[in-house]
């Protein structure tokens, strides 16, 4: 795991919003931590478990179960290429290859400078505009190979 430090006070601030000892806040709190730090930091999870009185094993299980959580720091720009059936048929593979080559990473990877993370997802529910690429949560439809460089620049 990459060693990075998070600000524990920021994590505490997030946790204040959740009633102490109430395990039902687990997923929400993990989401907030993911949003704040860009990943589910170990130190933050320790604070969370103490606050919500949840075993660390359970929090780890949830954090690894959902794709929305990442245990590694992610890039500033998160590019998700849909590889669902519709997008696959309309050439999402080419887009993935293009991005891998341009960024020098594999799907799931993050560039060393923590600028870009590339992910593939299975159907984002916008098949009519396949192939779909989302950049920092913004959807782009009918993406043509070659147009990605511009999209990335815009997403920055």
Partner 1 sequence: MTTEKTISLEINGRFFQAREGMTILDVAKREGIPIPTLCYHEALESVGNCRLCMVEITHPDWKGWKGLVTSCLYPVEEGLQVTTDNKTIWNTRRTILDLLLARCPDSDVIQKLAAEYGVTVTSYRKNDVETKCILCGLCVRVCAAKGANAISSAGRGIEKMIARPFDQPPPDCIGCASCAHICPTGAIEYEDTPEVRKIWGHSFKMVKCESCGRPIMPEKQLEFEAEKSGLDPAYFKTCSVCSQRKSIDTIRSAFDMKAVGLGEPVEVAR
Binding interface with partner 1 (CB under 8 A): 1, 42, 45, 55-61, 64-65, 71
Count the site residues for ligand FES by CB under 6 A: 12
Strand positions, DSSP E, 37-143: 77-82, 116-121, 133-135, 138-140
Is 130 a binding residue for ligand FES by CB under 6 A? The answer is yes
Query: Would you call 67 helix, strand, or coil by DSSP?
Result: coil
99 binds, among ligand FES, partner 1, none (CB under 5 to 8 A by kind): none
Is 136 a binding residue for ligand FES by CB under 6 A? The answer is no
Q: How far is the CB of 50 from partner 1 (least distance, A)?
A: 11
Is 142 a binding residue for ligand FES by CB under 6 A? The answer is no
26 binds, among ligand FES, partner 1, none (CB under 5 to 8 A by kind): none
Task: Name the burial class of residue 24, with classes exposed (0-12), middle (13-18) and buried (19+) by CB atoms within 10 angstroms of its CB.
Answer: exposed
Q: How far is the CB of 30 from partner 1 (least distance, A)?
A: 13
Task: Name the burial class of residue 116, with classes exposed (0-12), middle (13-18) and buried (19+) by CB atoms within 10 angstroms of its CB.
Answer: buried
Task: Return the number of the residue (71 or 124) whose C-beta is nearest partner 1.
Answer: 71
What's the CA gap between 70 and 41, in Å, rounded? 9
CB 49 within 8 A of CB 55: yes
Beta bridge partners of 61: none
Q: How far is the CB of 119 from ligand FES (least distance, A)?
A: 13
């Amino acid at each position: 795991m990459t060693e990075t430090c998070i600000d524990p006070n920021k994590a505490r601030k997030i946790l204040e919003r959740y009633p102490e000892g109430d395990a039902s806040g687990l997923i929400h709190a993990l989401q907030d931590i993911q949003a704040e730090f860009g990943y589910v930091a170990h130190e933050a999870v320790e604070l969370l478990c103490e606050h919500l009185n949840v075993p660390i094993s359970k929090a780890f299980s949830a954090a690894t179960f959902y794709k929305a959580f990442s245990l590694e720091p992610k890039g500033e720009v998160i590019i998700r290429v849909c590889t669902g059936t519709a997008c696959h048929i309309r050439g999402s593979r080419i887009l993935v290859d293009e991005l891998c080559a341009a960024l020098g990473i594999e799907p799931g990877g993050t560039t060393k400078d923590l600028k870009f993370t590339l992910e593939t997802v299975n159907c984002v529910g916008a098949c009519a505009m396949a192939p779909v690429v989302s950049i920092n949560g913004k959807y782009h439809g009918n993406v043509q190979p070659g147009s990605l460089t511009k999209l990335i620049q815009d997403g920055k």
